[in-house]
Structure 1
Amino acid sequence: MSTGNPVRAVYPGSFDPFTPGHLDVVNRARGLFDEVVVLVAVNSSKQPGTDEEERAAAVRAILPVEWTSVTVAAWSGLTSAYCRSHDVGVIVRGVRNTTDLHTEHQLAAMNQSLGVPTVFLPTQPELAAVSSTAVRTSGKWLSPMRP
């Protein structure tokens, strides 16, 4: 946590659904930053089963109530635009493997050019095989999820 001005971080994703890996990233991010916003975003390359408001409500229902420094917001624009308009200083991204890292590195470079740095948090080894797609296609909903 910072000692001066509070540092707000945003953790963006489509979260369709929110997985144990996502929960772990939020838990670790809240230890690094004063506030964490889970930003349920629209991704034009994905076709989620529900809209971002419904997914945001589902994430809120999963997060432990004692995590008072974590909020959830739905957003349909660029993450960097959200950061600028909501005084967020950093983007948090989880990475499971080298494919994720390559993709995320490109996004981080773009966001850095727009004035918002990115912090990568590597996935815990036991969660590396879990993806929203795998959870969705297996039909197994992993709730309640707690770290």
Structure 2
Amino acid sequence: MTRVGVYPGTFDPVTLGHMDIIRRGAKLVDRLVIGVTTNPSKSPMFTLDERMATVRREVADVPGVIDVVAFDSLLMDFATREGAKVIVRGLRAVADFEYEYQMAGMNQQINRSVETVFLMADVGLQPIASRLVKEIALYGGDVSKFVTPSVCDELATRVALIGRKGS
């Protein structure tokens, strides 16, 4: 029986923290589905198609079976559709845990056959958040410590298009 896990997120942009969780999560399952989603409470810098393409490129060298799939539904419906029995979530800090704990509880009420697995972010990657990476990039800061060189280039190109803040 194939063990399928889902790692959901907006990945706007995909960071080194995301990649750490993807590499480690891929070792726990036979197939890891990266669920790239929309989030009504967030204003993405990149379109869904751009985020999907970036994640696909970034995971190309990660060992294991990894699929990148878009979704715009309840996470538990997406997990069921993909045949997943595990939701992989990364934790950076106590604030993440409180939110994720509540979400895991709600998800369990929706579908008790899917477990949530929390992976602690690597200590050196814990402060990285996509929201902060975008903010640093928009103000002309160096984001090369937080994302791959390709994503760094994509951020620079996007900031050049939409205009840097504080200039």
Under a length normalisation based on structure 1, what TM-score does the superposition of the two structures give? 0.90
Q: Deviations over 1:45-78 (max 9, x none)?
A: 1110122222111111111335341111111111
User: Which of the residues 121, 130, 133 maps onto 1:132?
Assistant: 130
Query: Counterpart in 2 of 1:25?
Result: 21
| Higher RCO (CA 8 Å, separation ≥ 6 residues) | 1
Which of the two has higher C-alpha Rg?
Answer: 2
Query: Which residue type is aligned with residue 107 of structure 1?
Result: M
Query: Which residue type is aligned with residue 40 of structure 1?
Result: V
* Secondary structure at 1:138 match in 2: helix
In 1, Cα distance between the equivalents of 2:50 and 2:60? Answer: 18
Query: Which residue type is aligned with residue 148 of structure 2?
Result: S
**Structure 2: stretches of 5+ with no match in the other structure:** 138-142, 151-167
Query: Counterpart in 2 of 1:120?
Result: 118
Let me know the Cα RMSD of the aligned residues.
1.5
User: Residue 36 of structure 2 contacts residue 51 of structure 2 at CA under 8 Å; is this kept in 1?
Assistant: yes
* Secondary structure at 1:48 match in 2: coil
Q: Percent identity?
A: 35
Query: Which residue type is aligned with residue 50 of structure 1?
Result: F
Q: Within the alignment, does 1:63 sit opposite 2:59 as a pair?
A: yes
* Secondary structure at 2:73 match in 1: coil
- The structure richer in helix per residue is 2
